[in-house]
Chains A and B, each alone.
Chain A
Amino acid sequence: MAEKVNQTQNFLKGIIKENPVFVMLLGMCPTLGVTSSAFNGLGMGIATMFVLLMSNIVVSLVKSQIPSKVRIPAFIIIIASFVTIVEMVLEAFIPFLYEQLGIFIPLIVVNCLILGRAEAFASKNNILASILDALGMGLGFVVALTILGATREILGSGSIFEFKFVSEDANTFILFILPPGAFIALAYLTVLFNKISIKTT
């Protein structure tokens, strides 16, 4: 029973208590880079979640076979392979999303969230715990990127998931679509998120 509670905790921690974006501030490059619309954030989040899940599984399976001095290069090779697979599959079957995310797909390799989880969690825990950890963290990342993308899209282009609710030539805060807007929106969302999560726990 205690084991079960532990696993639920393990899954949930990534979404709120240790949210990779709003609490741990990991993986800032794609977070700031692609979230100019809610859809882009969602797509990037799901792609990252997939890579995170696969790399956590593989790393936890092979952890005892890797000498600790070469573990980082080994992890990076595993992660890079999955990223390349994601890139090829996206280009072949979802070219629309591939075009939208562009350069940021190969950059998933250097997302420190993924290497961080491989190093800090998957290389020390069994496969079930690693899968739950990846799902929780991945979901937290997806949620965070979608919220950030939605906020920037609403303020910056007056639409959500490409659905416009202001007229075509209305004045919107273009700043929020531009890179500085990503920092501003992320800062305020982080404050808000932590305020709420501290109050409820």
Chain B
Amino acid sequence: MSKKKDTFINMVLSLFVITIISGFSLGYVNELTIGPIEKGKIERKVNALKLVLPTFDNNPIEDVQLIKSSLVQDSVEVFPAYENSKFVGAAIIGSTEKGFSGLIKLIVGFSPEGTIKNIVVLEQKETPGLGTKMKDEKFLAQFREKNPSAFNLKVTKDGGEVDALTGATITSRAFGEAVQMAYDEFMKNNGLLIELKN
């Protein structure tokens, strides 16, 4: 087995062939996995909605409102919940780019007055074992049944009321910020959501 010579044409050809093959195989695997990935994302969203909203009898996924916002590039997704045609709350996707490793996306459920019902983290890239603890019950519990108009969503270090995660102050800060963003959007569009069903 002799090595191919280092001629220009050999080098170009071999790299070209390798990139073509790897490109096609990646495309093939992408085709295979894109379905399950999408399905998993929707499933997680539905499960999250069930966790953060009070009982509802409409389909929030179908009633989703896309609201343009100056705070984020994309529009904000708002999932209103109704029971017997009465507005019982809404879930809003809050996000921030200020996590320790970028994007943090969470879904926050509000009652009509703006009290936080529950929070579920949808996407994050935080440090395993540190920032990922924001998904733990211990951290999330402090937000429940709090109304951000009376509860400062900043961490205690910055004069707020949120107990930061050990070793993950940046994550905790970003978390509070994302919740704040969801709250602001909710309060802005509160009236619209109530009207929508009538």
- A and B bound? yes
The answer to whether A37 and B4 have CB atoms under 8 Å apart is: no
Contact with A along B97-126 (1 / 0, CB 8 A): 000010000000000000000000000111
Q: Which positions 90-107 of chain A face chain B at CB distance < 8 Å?
A: 91-93, 95, 99-104
The answer to whether B22 and A92 have CB atoms under 8 Å apart is: no
Main secondary structure of the interface of A (DSSP, over half): helix
Decide if B85 is an interface residue (CB 8 Å cutoff). no
Decide if A110 is an interface residue (CB 8 Å cutoff). no
Decide if B192 is an interface residue (CB 8 Å cutoff). no
Q: Which residue of A lies closest to B22 (CB)?
A: A81
The answer to whether B15 and A85 have CB atoms under 8 Å apart is: no
The answer to whether A69 and B4 have CB atoms under 8 Å apart is: no
Contact with A along B112-143 (1 / 0, CB 8 A): 00000000000011111110100000000000
Chain B positions within 8 Å of A77 at CB level: 15, 18-19, 22
Question: Which of B18, B101, B130 interacts with A74 by CB under 8 Å?
Answer: B18
- Minimum distance in angstroms from B151 CB to a CB of chain A: 23
Chain B positions within 8 Å of A178 at CB level: 130, 167
- Minimum distance in angstroms from A158 CB to a CB of chain B: 13
Binds B, one of A6-14, A20-28, A60-68, A187-195: A60-68
The answer to whether B6 and A36 have CB atoms under 8 Å apart is: no
Contact with B along A107-137 (1 / 0, CB 8 A): 0000000000000000000000000000000
Decide if B189 is an interface residue (CB 8 Å cutoff). no
How far, in whole Å, are A80 and B101 apart by their CA atoms in the complex? 21
How far, in whole Å, are A174 and B44 apart by their CA atoms in the complex? 31
Question: Which of B18, B40, B132 interacts with A92 by CB under 8 Å?
Answer: B40
The answer to whether A104 and B128 have CB atoms under 8 Å apart is: yes
The answer to whether B29 and A177 have CB atoms under 8 Å apart is: no
Chain B positions within 8 Å of A74 at CB level: 14-15, 18
Decide if B70 is an interface residue (CB 8 Å cutoff). no
Decide if A154 is an interface residue (CB 8 Å cutoff). no
Chain B positions within 8 Å of A151 at CB level: none
Number of interface residues of B (CB under 8 A): 37
The answer to whether A68 and B3 have CB atoms under 8 Å apart is: yes
- Minimum distance in angstroms from A144 CB to a CB of chain B: 17
Decide if B84 is an interface residue (CB 8 Å cutoff). no
How far, in whole Å, are A143 and B33 apart by their CA atoms in the complex? 29
How far, in whole Å, are A95 and B41 apart by their CA atoms in the complex? 10
How far, in whole Å, are A80 and B26 apart by their CA atoms in the complex? 10
Decide if A196 is an interface residue (CB 8 Å cutoff). no
How far, in whole Å, are A89 and B31 apart by their CA atoms in the complex? 11
Chain A positions within 8 Å of B124 at CB level: 99, 102
The answer to whether A100 and B132 have CB atoms under 8 Å apart is: yes
The answer to whether B29 and A88 have CB atoms under 8 Å apart is: yes
- Minimum distance in angstroms from B141 CB to a CB of chain A: 13
Question: Which of B5, B7, B26, B127 interacts with A85 by CB under 8 Å?
Answer: B26
Given A40-B129, A78-B18, A92-B40, A67 contacting B10 (CB threshold 8 A): yes
**Sample of 24 A–B contacts (CB below 8 Å):** A34-B128, A36-B128, A36-B129, A36-B130, A37-B128, A37-B129, A40-B129, A64-B3, A66-B4, A67-B4, A67-B11, A70-B11, A74-B18, A77-B15, A88-B37, A89-B33, A92-B32, A92-B36, A92-B37, A92-B40, A95-B40, A102-B128, A103-B125, A177-B129
| Interface set of A (CB-CB < 8 Å, partner B) | 33-34, 36-37, 40, 62-70, 73-74, 77-78, 80-81, 84-85, 88-89, 91-93, 95, 99-104, 156, 174, 177-178
